[in-house]
Amino acid sequence: MDSKTHCSVEGCSDAIKARGLCVKHYQRLIRNGSIFKQEKYKNKTCSVDTCEETVVAKGYCKHHYNKLRSMGKIGTKKRCQVSNCNEPHHAKGYCTHHYYLHMKKANN
Ligand SMILES: [Zn+2]
Ligand SMILES: [Zn+2]
Ligand SMILES: [Zn+2]
């Protein structure tokens, strides 16, 4: 049986201070809202180009991560790389029309 006298964080054997955590981990929980170190995503911003929010998971901010989870993907549609073209992306950075032109040119 586990006597529960140690911090509940895996790998930590310090004595419990509060809420099942040692002083160190309890303070981290208070400070960060999480017991986990946030090194991995430290100072990183959301993968969505226009978003400056801090990453919380999988490279996305809270907002976009929730969106990702609810929609299964982020709603950033890729567009044709031709500057005045607004068609959806088809292949190799081009829309169907420009991809066709690109391939035609490449084959000449
Ligand atoms: Zn601990
Ligand atoms: Zn974001
Ligand atoms: Zn195009």
> How do residues 24-69 score in pLDDT, each as one tens digit?
999 988 888 887 765 544 568 888 878 888 888 888 889 988 888 8
- Domain positions in the chain are 1-37, 38-74, 77-108
The length of the chain in residues reads 108
Residue 78 C-alpha to ligand 3 middle, in angstroms?
Answer: 11
Distance of CA 94 to the CA centre of its chain: 27
pLDDT score for 47: 84
For residue 88, how far is its CA from the centre of ligand 3 (angstroms)? 8
Whole-model pTM?
A: 0.33
- For the record, the structure tokens of 9 come out as 């964080």
- Among 46-55, 66-75, 81-90, 98-107, the least confident range: 66-75
Span from the CA of 74 to the centroid of ligand 1 (angstroms): 36
Ligand that lies nearest to the alpha carbon of residue 56, given by its number in the listed order: 2
Mean pLDDT for the stretch of residues 66-92: 80
The pLDDT of residue 1: 45
Q: What are the residues whose beta carbon lies below 5 Å from ligand 2 (ion)?
A: 46, 48, 51, 53, 61, 64
Joined tokens for residue 91 = 């292949």
Helix (H, G, I), strand (E, B) or coil at 31: helix
Mean pLDDT over the full length of the chain: 83
CA of 67 to the centre of ligand 2 (A): 9
